[in-house]
């Protein structure tokens, strides 16, 4: 099936949001038992998301698992057409094939899907949203809003404010990606293989392609014919779409490192004109979702442990590129389960509810030009 043909189920009917304005939405987390799913449940509770009820969905393997939400014990159900009936909003983190499988059912029910997988990200009719950068795009959804790749979200929280100082010409980025980026089982495998190495046993991997303990390897997503892997190409293509800059030049090298949770990125940015370190630090210091850790006297810059379980992306070591008068170098760290996935999705959901965008807007309504997220 040609990819775009698979989107014929996108909602064509325009429903007034008025019917929903009188009650909070019913919400489901699809992939509730996974690394991102568990964080979604946590965030919905921590941020007091205005939901009428919450359903937890996963595969039949984990049906019956129980989670506590707002003091109530909820049971995970196997995803099914029946389980999805009556749900207004699905936050999905069960992988691309599962999203592709169930999105048409959600479309038929008029359910909005906010999807963490890569299934629909580059589809022109699907908004790809980082709320601090392009929230208004979410208002134009037709039943699906895509959450970008985690490394892309973290990168764009820094790039978007900086490009207000001068247009971006080229970005070269190297990522240091934690085990959690590959899911809950990869985190468990890093713990097991670390114990194996420390106790003198031969570490064996089943989830990741190689043992990650005391090791690192290039990202294991499939290689394209041009020498880049899929993860690296996602950073290029998704950044272009979110920034609405189709000519952006970006080259990425993605590496898996033996960190449990939170990714880091070394970023070289070439602008169309010189940008001073002071101006960059000022703009980033004011940027929503960004925290500066730039303690030069103590040689103390962002680390994964600074951002684990935290919302903001930490940026530091902002410096002039000695090889390029239009260039800056910086280093950033972000919890990619949180801001790189679950938090970003929940922020989109919050905005959707706040602005009455749960159902596709009628073409007769003027497009709501919402501001980007400010806090």
Query: Annotated active-site positions, please?
Result: 150, 263
The two three-digit tokens of residue 355, written as one number: 């602005």
Count Cβ atoms below 10 Å from residue 17 Cβ, excluding itself: 18
Nearer CB in complex with ligand NAP: 27/168: 27
Nearer CB in complex with ligand NAP: 147/275: 147
| Chain-centroid distance, C-alpha 191 | 24
In the sheet with 53-58, reading across from the earlier edge strand, the strands are 66-69, 72-78, 53-58, 26-30, 89-92, 112-115, 144-146
The DSSP line for 112-176 is: EEEE-SSTTTT-TTS-B--HHHHGGGGGG-SSEEEPPPHHHHHHHHHHHHHTTTS-EEEEEEEEE
- SS3 label, residue 17: coil
Considering only residues 94 to 153 of the shown chain, the ones binding ligand NAP according to CB under 6 A are 94-96, 98, 116-117, 150
Nearer CB in complex with ligand NAP: 142/147: 147
| CA proximity to 329, closest of 339, 337, 321 | 321
Q: How far is the CB of 279 from ligand NAP (least distance, A)?
A: 31
Nearer CB in complex with ligand NAP: 166/187: 187
- SS3 label, residue 346: helix
Helix or strand holding residue 35 (H, E): helix 35-46
The two three-digit tokens of residue 182, written as one number: 């590959």
Sole binder of ligand NAP in the list 131, 211, 258, 340 (CB under 6 A):
340
Sole binder of ligand NAP in the list 33, 152, 192, 194 (CB under 6 A):
33
Sole binder of ligand NAP in the list 17, 31, 161, 258 (CB under 6 A):
31
Count, residues near ligand NAP per rule CB under 6 A? 29
Sole binder of ligand NAP in the list 27, 252, 328, 337 (CB under 6 A):
337
Count Cβ atoms below 10 Å from residue 276 Cβ, excluding itself: 11
| Chain-centroid distance, C-alpha 70 | 25
Return the residue nearest ligand NAP (CB atom).
Answer: 34
Q: Are strands 89-92 and 26-30 parallel, antiparallel or unpaired?
A: parallel
The DSSP line for 347-365 is: HHHHHHHHHT-SSPPPTTS
Helix or strand holding residue 272 (H, E): none
Nearer CB in complex with ligand NAP: 28/168: 28
The two three-digit tokens of residue 56, written as one number: 């937890």
Considering only residues 226 to 245 of the shown chain, the ones binding ligand NAP according to CB under 6 A are none
Task: Say if residues 212 and 202 touch (Cβ distance below 8 Å).
Answer: no
Count Cβ atoms below 10 Å from residue 98 Cβ, excluding itself: 20
28 binds ligand NAP per the rule CB under 6 A: no
Q: How far is the CB of 189 from ligand NAP (least distance, A)?
A: 11
Q: How far is the CB of 46 from ligand NAP (least distance, A)?
A: 18
User: CA-to-CA distance for 248 and 337, rounded, in angstroms?
Assistant: 26
Q: How far is the CB of 71 from ligand NAP (least distance, A)?
A: 22
Sole binder of ligand NAP in the list 44, 79, 126, 190 (CB under 6 A):
79
Nearer CB in complex with ligand NAP: 37/302: 37
Nearer CB in complex with ligand NAP: 40/318: 40
Q: How far is the CB of 114 from ligand NAP (least distance, A)?
A: 12
User: CA-to-CA distance for 344 and 215, rounded, in angstroms?
Assistant: 30
Give the contact letters, 161-190, x = binds to ligand NAP (CB under 6 A), - = no.
-------------------xx-xxx-----
Question: Which residues is 77 bridged to in the sheet?
Answer: 57
The two three-digit tokens of residue 294, written as one number: 């730039």
Sole binder of ligand NAP in the list 341, 348, 349, 351 (CB under 6 A):
341
Give the contact letters, 35-74, x = binds to ligand NAP (CB under 6 A), - = no.
xxx--------------------xx-xx------------
First to last CA, the chain: 41
Q: How far is the CB of 308 from ligand NAP (least distance, A)?
A: 12
Binding site for ligand NAP (CB under 6 A): 31-37, 58-59, 61-62, 79, 93-96, 98, 116-117, 150, 180-181, 183-185, 336-337, 340-341
């Amino acid at each position: 099936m040609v990819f775009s043909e698979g989107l014929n189920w996108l909602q064509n009917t325009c429903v007034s949001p008025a019917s929903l304005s009188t009650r909070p939405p019913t919400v489901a987390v699809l992939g509730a038992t996974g690394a991102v799913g568990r964080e979604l449940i946590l965030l919905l509770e921590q941020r007091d998301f205005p939901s009428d009820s919450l359903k937890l969905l996963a595969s039949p393997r984990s049906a019956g698992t129980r989670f506590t939400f707002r003091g109530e014990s909820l049971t995970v159900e196997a995803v099914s057409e029946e389980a999805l009936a009556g749900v207004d909003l699905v936050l999905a983190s069960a992988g691309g094939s599962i999203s592709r499988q169930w999105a048409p059912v959600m479309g038929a029910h008029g359910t909005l899907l906010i999807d963490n997988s890569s299934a629909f990200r580059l589809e022109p009719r699907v908004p790809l949203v980082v709320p601090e950068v392009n929230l208004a795009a979410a208002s134009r959804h037709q039943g699906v809003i895509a959450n970008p790749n985690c490394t892309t979200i973290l990168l764009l929280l820094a790039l978007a404010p900086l490009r207000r100082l001068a247009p971006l010409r080229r970005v070269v980025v190297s990522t240091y990606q934690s085990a959690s980026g590959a899911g809950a089982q990869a985190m468990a495998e890093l713990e097991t293989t670390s114990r194996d190495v420390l106790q003198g046993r031969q570490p064996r991997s089943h989830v990741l392609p190689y043992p990650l303990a005391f090791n690192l390897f290039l990202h294991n997503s499939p290689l394209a014919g041009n020498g880049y892997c899929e993860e690296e190409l996602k950073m290029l293509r998704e950044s272009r779409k979110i920034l609405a800059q189709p000519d952006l030049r970006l080259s990425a090298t993605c590496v898996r490192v033996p960190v449990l949770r939170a990714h880091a990125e070394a970023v070289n940015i070439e602008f169309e004109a010189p940008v001073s370190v002071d101006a960059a630090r000022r703009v980033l210091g004011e940027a929503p979702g960004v925290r500066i850790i730039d303690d030069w006297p103590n040689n103390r810059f962002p680390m994964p442990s600074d951002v684990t379980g935290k919302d903001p992306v930490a940026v530091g070591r902002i410096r002039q590129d000695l090889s390029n008068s239009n260039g800056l170098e910086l280093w950033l760290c972000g919890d990619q389960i949180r801001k790189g996935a679950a938090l970003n999705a929940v922020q989109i959901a919050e905005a959707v509810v706040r602005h009455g965008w749960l159902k596709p807007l009628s073409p007769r309504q003027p497009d709501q030009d919402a501001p980007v997220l400010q806090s």
